[in-house]
Amino acid sequence: MCTPGFWQQSHYLVTWCGLQIRCTLPLSLHSIMTSPLERLNSVRNHIQPQNQQLSQQPCLAPILGHNPTGPADIAAERAGASFNVEKMKYFWAGGKEEYEITEIAYQIIQRDPDLTTSHFFDQTRPEAREFTYSESFAMRIYVHDLLFRNALNLFGSPEQLAEWQEDIEKFRVLGCFAMTELGHSSFLRGLETTATYDRENDEFIIHSPTLEATKWWIGLAGQTATHTVAICQTIIDSKPHGINWFIVPLRSPTTGRLLPGVTAGDIGAKYGRAGLDNGWIQFTHARIPRTNLLSRWVNVDRDGNYHPAPNPAVMYATLIPERLSIMAGTWMLVGQAVVIAARYGVVRRQGAKDQKIMDYQSHYVKLMPCVAFMYICNITNRYACDRLFPRVSLRFCKYSTHPLPSMLIVLQLTDFPQLHSLLTTQWSEMSELAQNDIHSYLRKAGDMHAVSAGIKATITWLGADTLERCRRACGGHAYSSYNAIPGIIGDWGVTTTGAYKAGRRRQHRPFAADWGKSRSCSRHLQSQRYLIGTLHDVAQGRQAAGSAAYLNDAATVLAQPTCVFDNERDWLNIEAVNGVLTWLVVKRLHINLTLSLPTQLQATATALAASDAWNDHLLSVTRTSELHCHRHLLDLYVAGIREAPVELHAPLLNMGRLYALYVVEGSLDALLEEEYITPKQARVVRGLYIRLCKETRTDAVPLTDAWAFPDFVLKAPIGRADGDIYS
């Protein structure tokens, strides 16, 4: 049985959804820590015989001299800004009002004595679980809202929404999302947990038949969740009906005790996210009402008749919003490390000339693309997701009448119900299509799947690279946990797992039957399959839409076998550079479509052999999908910055150019290999890329100041806003 510590002791559950901020611990916890003398005595006992005393060293006189150059250095960087930072702050936040809301939230958090701590980085796991106001703690809300609630929204019937919505919204139940199993994760159809219909009692029996079927890694399952949505193999009269989603109660909402048939625990220490109670769950013939099968698309009636979804593809959409949310998460979390590294870079001096390390070419070429990447994430997220999700609005909720033993206060600055209602509206539109026009439905859903899968895979890995660059850019100081970057790396790491989720085969493609036999596939594979299918559609005279609309011009693109750019100006035109990426993607897709892959697929008689055929192309597939995502992000970025005030266009354009050149520079090998560009053009790209890094470097501090992270959020002395990093 799990001890319900969280239930009895937590005083505050505070999240600013999306903007997840780390800090906090009540002062009372200091008493738990051992004193310095106790720790010294403990060490002493280990290293010398009991009866010997360490010789007393005379106390060192305190060093009082402090002659910081940092404040003047950072002030000079700010004075040299090429644009109005206040205006950039507003644009970055999504508007003046949103910026001011952010400031209010920071003030509320910073002034609450229960939400500040002087030893954030020394917390034990139990402390992190119970008291922190941190990214990892806030993940509890994320899991509840974006995974649990979203699964209900996407797969629940209107009656089920009516039954659960309020309890979920008011946190009367806390939900988790149980998909991954100890032995399985990516290949959903291989999951083992069963939901067997018991006609006599009108119930499903949820069961983990093997050790490998143990639900594993499940956020909130370790201590907190009262309920889960669990994906299970549905069995009726011994006949399997595939995987479906079920609401399964885990713990009593009043006592926190596990319910009959449920065994669960915490999986213990992790690389990051200590504040999130990832856990394991085993079901032993746990019983739930039949009506807990989420039945928007599928249904089992009282007599045990199974009514399948109009198209099985609808069952695979639950992770789309979670995947898209990563764009916001990137600049919010990775962005903190970029700010720290940028400030440290202009304050830290090294070398014979005692110059700012940021002025070394190797340094600004390392960091400036990271700054540009954050701009891409922020602006494409706002541009793309504002259209998917509505704008944020301020909402304070106090649930002081919460049924849990402890008072629960929720401060939300994003309006989730609104967000989900829009998503649900979109989903309803798609559901209508699913009933009436499967072809259009699959095209829409396919695009959302492909975009979200590709973007998550591309951005999260690039985010991890960015963090590592930042860590190295701060030398030994970033190896200290007290400078925050190691913790961010740990927290971010989870986003780079889960790159593999089996999708559903596309139903309407001529080759779909063969491709679908692939038994598991990466997110990039999903994206690539979609692109190849779309290119094939275009060849058949159908119109491509959404992120792949550029494939309508594939024939024209390929008709131009070499790049015609003959000066630097061409390479500074983002749309033109995106044309180069388009050429490379189309060329590679075309090779995959017309040459080796189909030949190999057509020669295979079995699903396993088809899977091998895909496997032989996996590296090429991954690279092509990444390129497609980069060009899509650039498309969105260019559209997004059109909404910016005119005086911000220059720095924003430079960020887009830098990102575009970063991608092209990383693809020079492929472009040369295909003989699309000449060595001379490659030299121009490389030279321009380095020059742009140098030119934008002068705005490194203003560009990152615009993200408006206060020091108490960054928690890194080397990233102090005032530049006094050694104090």
Ligand X SMILES: Cc1cc2nc3c(=O)[nH]c(=O)nc-3n(C[C@H](O)[C@H](O)[C@H](O)COP(=O)(O)OP(=O)(O)OC[C@H]3O[C@@H](n4cnc5c(N)ncnc54)[C@H](O)[C@@H]3O)c2cc1C
- Strand (E) or helix (H) holding 178: strand 175-178
- Count of positions on this chain that bind ligand X (CB under 6 A): 21
Stretch that binds ligand X, among 68-76, 202-210, 214-222, 235-243 (CB under 6 A): 214-222
How near is the Cβ of 100 to ligand X at its closest, in Å?
34
How near is the Cβ of 711 to ligand X at its closest, in Å?
28
617 binds ligand X (CB under 6 A): no
Q: Phi then psi for 43, rounded to 5 degrees?
A: -65, -45
Cβ closest to ligand X, residue 369 vs residue 463: 463
> In the window 219-238, what residues touch ligand X (CB under 6 A)?
219
Cβ closest to ligand X, residue 123 vs residue 522: 522
Site mask, ligand X, residues 492-521, x = CB under 6 A? --x--xxxx-------------------xx
Cβ closest to ligand X, residue 390 vs residue 490: 490
Cα–Cα distance between 526 and 467 in angstroms, integer?
Answer: 27
Q: Which of 177, 197, 427, 530 binds ligand X (CB under 6 A)?
A: 177
720 binds ligand X (CB under 6 A): no
- Strand (E) or helix (H) holding 630: helix 618-641
- Nearest Cα residue to 306 out of 374, 383, 239, 385: 239
User: For the residues of 541-584, what is the DSSP string, one character each?
Assistant: TPPP-GGGGGGGGHHHHHH--S----SHHHHT-HHHHHHHHHHH
> In the window 18-77, what residues touch ligand X (CB under 6 A)?
none
How near is the Cβ of 318 to ligand X at its closest, in Å?
10
How near is the Cβ of 181 to ligand X at its closest, in Å?
8
Q: Which of 218, 300, 337, 597 binds ligand X (CB under 6 A)?
A: 218
How near is the Cβ of 323 to ligand X at its closest, in Å?
12
143 binds ligand X (CB under 6 A): yes
- Strand (E) or helix (H) holding 289: strand 286-289
Cβ closest to ligand X, residue 565 vs residue 614: 614
Contacts (Cβ under 8 Å, ≥6 apart) of 427: 153, 154, 317
How near is the Cβ of 216 to ligand X at its closest, in Å?
7
- Strand (E) or helix (H) holding 197: strand 194-198
Cα–Cα distance between 159 and 349 in angstroms, integer?
Answer: 64
217 binds ligand X (CB under 6 A): yes
- Strand (E) or helix (H) holding 73: helix 70-79
> In the window 577-606, what residues touch ligand X (CB under 6 A)?
none
- 3-state class of 240 per DSSP? strand
Cβ closest to ligand X, residue 10 vs residue 522: 522
Q: Which of 234, 278, 330, 380 binds ligand X (CB under 6 A)?
A: 278
273 binds ligand X (CB under 6 A): yes
How near is the Cβ of 212 to ligand X at its closest, in Å?
11
Site mask, ligand X, residues 515-554, x = CB under 6 A? -----xxx--------------------------------
Contacts (Cβ under 8 Å, ≥6 apart) of 153: 161, 420, 423, 424, 427
> In the window 178-197, what residues touch ligand X (CB under 6 A)?
178-180, 185-186
Stretch that binds ligand X, among 62-70, 491-499, 584-592, 668-676 (CB under 6 A): 491-499
- At 527, which amino acid appears? S
Annotated binding residue at 219? Answer: yes
Cα–Cα distance between 196 and 244 in angstroms, integer?
Answer: 11
Per DSSP, what are the bridge partners of residue 504? none
Query: Do the strands 194-198 and 227-236 form a parallel or antiparallel pair, or are they unpaired?
Result: parallel
How near is the Cβ of 519 to ligand X at its closest, in Å?
8
Cβ closest to ligand X, residue 145 vs residue 635: 145
- Strand (E) or helix (H) holding 243: strand 239-249
User: For the residues of 492-544, what is the DSSP string, one character each?
Assistant: HHGGGS--B------SS-TTHHHHTT-S--BHHHHHHHHHHHHHHHHHTTPPP
Cβ closest to ligand X, residue 224 vs residue 654: 224
619 binds ligand X (CB under 6 A): no
- Nearest Cα residue to 371 out of 343, 404, 391, 398: 343
Structure token pair of residue 491: 């927290």
Contacts (Cβ under 8 Å, ≥6 apart) of 321: 146, 150, 423
What's the residue count for the chain?
Answer: 727
How near is the Cβ of 521 to ligand X at its closest, in Å?
6
Stretch that binds ligand X, among 164-172, 213-221, 465-473, 475-483 (CB under 6 A): 213-221
Stretch that binds ligand X, among 490-498, 560-568, 582-590, 668-676 (CB under 6 A): 490-498
C-beta of residue 487 within 8 angstroms of C-beta of residue 481: yes
248 binds ligand X (CB under 6 A): no
Helices within 381-415 (DSSP H only): 386-388
Cβ closest to ligand X, residue 521 vs residue 685: 521
∠266-268-274 over CA atoms, to 5°? 100
How near is the Cβ of 494 to ligand X at its closest, in Å?
4
How near is the Cβ of 642 to ligand X at its closest, in Å?
37
Structure token pair of residue 347: 């304050």
Stretch that binds ligand X, among 212-220, 256-264, 434-442, 703-711 (CB under 6 A): 212-220
Stretch that binds ligand X, among 176-184, 394-402, 580-588, 677-685 (CB under 6 A): 176-184
- 3-state class of 443 per DSSP? helix
How near is the Cβ of 490 to ligand X at its closest, in Å?
10
Annotated binding residue at 446? Answer: no
- Nearest Cα residue to 412 out of 9, 92, 18, 12: 18
Q: Is 297 exposed, middle or buried (0-12, 13-18, 19+ CB in 10 A)?
A: buried
Cβ closest to ligand X, residue 4 vs residue 498: 498
How near is the Cβ of 101 to ligand X at its closest, in Å?
29
- 3-state class of 345 per DSSP? helix
Cβ closest to ligand X, residue 485 vs residue 525: 525
Annotated binding site for FAD: 180, 219
Question: Applying CB under 6 A, which residues contact ligand X?
Answer: 143, 176-180, 185-186, 217-219, 273, 278, 494, 497-500, 520-522
Feature table: binding site: 180, 219
